[in-house]
A and B are shown apart, each in its own frame.
Chain A
Amino acid sequence: MRLTLTTLCTLAFAGHSFAAPATVDFWHAMGGNLGELTDKFAADFNAQNENCQVNTVYKGNYTETMTSAISAFRAKEQPHIVQVFEVGTATMMAANDKGAVYPVYQLMEDTGLEFNQDAYLPAVVSYYTDTDNKLLSLPFNSSTPVLWYNKTKLDELGIEVPTTWDELRAAAKKAKQGGVDAPFSFGWQSWTQIENFSAWHDIEMGTEENGFGGINTQFTFNNDKVVGHIQSIADMGKDGDFKYGGRRGDSRAQFVNGETILWINSSAYYGGFQKDIKDFEFGQTMLPLENSAADRPQNSIIGGATLWVLQGHEEAEYKCVGEFFNYISNAEQQASWHQNTGYVPITTAAYDLSKQQGFYETNPGTDVAIKQLSLNTPTANSKGVRFGNFVQVRDVINEELEAVWTGQKSAKDAMDDAVARGNELLRKFEAANK
């Protein structure tokens, strides 16, 4: 108690004697170890900058953080920086048009800080740029789906790591015969099996450049290629080569306990796998190619979150925001973030630095994500997706895919229904954001 009082007095005293540093509130959704690393970013930055004080506040998971920031904005109590997951992008974009958001490129221009958008990885920033290719929010934690495999088991069964879906199907069949319970599975199915499958094979998921061109977009993922892909997975399920393990990342348990040996999900599972998987060797490789859908892979798209700046604060505070953004984008900070978390580095310099440090040699496979993302220059179909009400659309996709996995619907019917229901949600978003 005495200590607290002393601290308070000191703070009060300090406040009177010196010019108070500009305070910046930063609301984030990083719990546990990630939260500690995020707080450390701010603490280190504050130690170097006496004019700025960045206060980090953990606001719960992604949806909770976004909802709190929106309610705070409506009550005019908004933070300066809020971390928003990629599916919230369309909502934030619409808010940008109405003046709730301070676009990052604009902020950097207004505060006169050094900012070079080309230093950032194109596949990462392209998800968050406007139609003029200007950066609206700063990528913070980004990952992409990869194919995880149980190396020990594959070697034991004499199966090569698959690079195409044909090989994957054959491998799963062989593994099943070899006694593996549920050879193939995946998590976050809309993201991995529809959004990324489409980008990887350069297939349009929705009109208007996947929604980048305007909120009058319509879904088109009920095309033959996606339908064929979903049907082929359903067929694997009938033979027991594929076992569905839930929405989100629930099926992780299947991979960790060896029940599943080929698993498609985020590259950011790396850190956790290193800690949890003791009794077999695991690896990650690029997503398989469906030969009937494309001749070569395009590039995969990211998931994760970015930092959005909200309007309504003082200029001096925004300057601190800009300096903080530059601080977390510098190569050393990024390389350390990347190596500790499994998220991709957001700048080319951080990638190069990690290479120089020999990180990829000592940790093979950790560069798969970044190689996938930068495989080709992103096209209109592979820049990312930007659809309104996308959180609910993903729920619709989850429901419809589950109807396929449980044999209630054919892939064609399910995708047609998902598109129809999704379009209804898009129209509602369009009407609300005119």
Chain B
Amino acid sequence: MSQSRVVFRGMFLPYLLLLPQISVTIIFFLWPSYQALEQSFFLEDAFGFSREFVAFDNYAALFRDEGYLRSFGTTIWFGFSVTFLSMSMALLLAVCANRTVRMATGYRTLVIWPYAVAPAIAGVIWFFLMNPSLGIVAYWLKAMGVDWNHYMSGDQAFAMVVVAASWKQISYNFLFFFAGLQSIPKSLLEAAALDGAGPIRRFWTISFPLLSPTTFFLLVVNLVYAFFDTFSIIHATTSGGPVDATSILVYRVYNTGFIGQDYGGSAAQSVILMVLVIVMTAIQFRYVEKKVVYS
């Protein structure tokens, strides 16, 4: 007796069904990436009258610039700081929210609010909070004996943009961590409790490992956020200064392209940034994902 199997004949239908996904990828990812790559080999005036092929000149100019090279270190340090701070704070808040019984919905709603704030606005809010002359947080810091002036101190400016960028992302991370915690079977936690494991031990041996798929996903998303999505925060707070203490790569891309109208130079920078993020994401999938437990 031969078993009847359903087989789609011809290649037409599967490709048709894939078409929306493929076209979205081509139009919104591959095509712009190709444009950036192409643009990076040309020198062009702002209005687009002359376009000259200059091979790798745009790249060479970047690597001659010491400030640009310093930006790599700043960017990586910034990316990891933002990711660590926003994820750890979100996890802490999610664990707390998971334990509250009363007012849980209200609490969750409040934590999610900052996500609705546009990055540029977040930048402006922090700009006012931290302004050495009129910021309330700066005032508290001074009362505590901290000599706060992020216009003069690169470290303080860096700390400020890390906090501003993380604050914005905490809500997003919180949502995922909270959903993850909710889906952990209560029976496992109860069994551990009966065996005498305290809350902290239960968290580290049961909840945290079971959250690992969420954590890994958020790690990738947060790094991408920190690398690509934070230029408006920098623009609204420090403009990359003092000197170039907060000049991260994506801010330079924005500044060179949108403010300076140097499209070739900006495209070359985007290509480099894109390669950097691809390499980092590949490393994460290759090495970090091995530690992830998918149930």
Contacts and interface: CB of A to CB of B under 8 A. Distances in A.
Interface string A234-273: 0000000001111110110110010100000000000000
B260 A392 contact: yes
Given A392-B255, A395-B240, A257 B152 contact: no
A253 B134 contact: yes
Contacts of B61: 424, 428
A73 B47 contact: yes
A408 interface: yes
A257 B243 contact: no
Interface string A53-97: 000000000010011001001100000000000000001001100
Interface string A377-392: 0000000000001011
B135 to A, nearest CB: 9
Interface string B40-76: 0001111111101010000001000101000000000
A432 B50 contact: yes
A433 B152 contact: no
Given A70-B261, A432-B50, A248 B133 contact: no
Contacts of B134: 253, 257
B265 interface: yes
Interface stretch (A282-290, A319-327, A398-406): A398-406
B47 A431 contact: no
B241 interface: yes
Contact of B151 (A98, A250, A391, A408): A250
Contacts, number: 100
A406 B156 CA distance: 13
B81 interface: no
Contacts of A424: 61
A421 B243 CA distance: 14
B212 interface: no
Interface centre among A66, A98, A246, A392 (most CB of B within 10 A): A246
B258 interface: yes
Nearest to B242: A402
A431 B52 CA distance: 9
Nearest to B133: A253
Contacts of A389: 260, 262
Contacts of A432: 43-45, 50, 52, 262, 264
Given A73-B47, A250-B131, A398 B241 contact: yes
A403 B247 CA distance: 14
A392 to B, nearest CB: 4
A433 to B, nearest CB: 5
A398 B133 contact: no
Given A70-B46, A246-B151, A254 B241 contact: no
B262 A244 contact: no
A293 interface: no
Contact of B243 (A73, A248, A403): A403
Contacts of B242: 402, 405-406
B259 A391 contact: yes
Interface in B140-156: 149, 151-154
A227 interface: no
Nearest to A97: B49
Contact of B239 (A91, A100, A245, A398): A398
Given A257-B133, A391-B260, A408 B47 contact: no
B98 interface: no
Contact of B45 (A245, A251, A433): A433
Contacts of B151: 244-246, 250
Contacts of A278: none
A433 B259 CA distance: 17
A74 B48 contact: yes
A428 B265 contact: yes
Given A257-B134, A259-B133, A431 B243 contact: no
Nearest to B151: A246
Interface string B192-234: 0000000000000000000000000000000000000000000
Given A392-B260, A398-B239, A91 B133 contact: no
B244 interface: yes
A71 to B, nearest CB: 9
B256 interface: yes
A424 B66 CA distance: 13
30 contacts: A67-B259, A70-B261, A73-B48, A91-B261, A94-B47, A95-B46, A244-B152, A246-B151, A246-B241, A250-B131, A250-B151, A253-B131, A253-B134, A254-B133, A257-B133, A259-B133, A392-B255, A392-B259, A395-B239, A395-B240, A399-B67, A399-B241, A399-B243, A403-B243, A405-B152, A421-B65, A428-B43, A428-B265, A432-B44, A434-B50
9 closest residue pairs by CB, A with B: A253-B133, A402-B242, A98-B49, A246-B151, A392-B260, A253-B134, A95-B47, A432-B45, A74-B48
